[in-house]
């Protein structure tokens, strides 16, 4: 009988070396109109970072309009901002720096996705706050 049949797959998965992909939680919704998607993306990114997974909060399109209202993210969550959106909404580099973000073209993220080092996760809906349940 082989050990494959008798071993617990979950135990062997924990010991096998793995390459972790960066989870990119992508938000483009204006938080002034609907704050839910941004809050959901922040929640998922924080949970991922807390579990030791590389996480990125990507702010694009209308989500950049209220950049000053975005709180600093927990350790392990990188914040990136679309350069076209900061130009469109006249956001200064100082405002990006104030939230601990960096300007990054979408083409870089999509290249990582194509290469298999990142996963793009669009967040368009809010979830119920699990802390209120």
Count other C-beta atoms under 10 Å from residue 43's C-beta: 17
pLDDT tens digits for range 35-80: 999 999 999 999 999 999 999 999 999 999 988 888 888 899 999 9
Q: What is the pTM of this model?
A: 0.81
| CA proximity to 105, closest of 77, 78, 79, 84 | 84
Domains for the chain: give ranges and CATH numbers: 18-123 (3.40.1260.10)
pLDDT digits (tens, 9 = 90+) for 79-103: 999 999 999 999 999 999 999 999 9
């Amino acid at each position: 009988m082989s050990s494959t049949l008798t071993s617990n797959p979950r135990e062997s998965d924990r010991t096998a070396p793995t390459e972790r992909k960066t989870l990119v939680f992508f938000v483009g919704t204006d938080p002034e109109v609907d704050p839910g998607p941004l809050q959901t993306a922040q929640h998922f990114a924080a949970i991922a970072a807390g579990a030791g997974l590389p996480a990125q909060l990507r702010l694009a399109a209308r989500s950049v309009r209220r950049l000053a209202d975005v709180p600093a993210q927990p350790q392990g969550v990188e914040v990136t901002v679309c350069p076209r959106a900061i130009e469109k909404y006249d956001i200064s580099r100082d405002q990006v720096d104030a939230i601990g973000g960096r300007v990054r073209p979408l083409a870089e993220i999509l290249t990582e996705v194509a290469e298999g080092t990142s996963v793009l996760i669009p967040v368009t809906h809010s979830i119920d706050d699990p802390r209120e349940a």
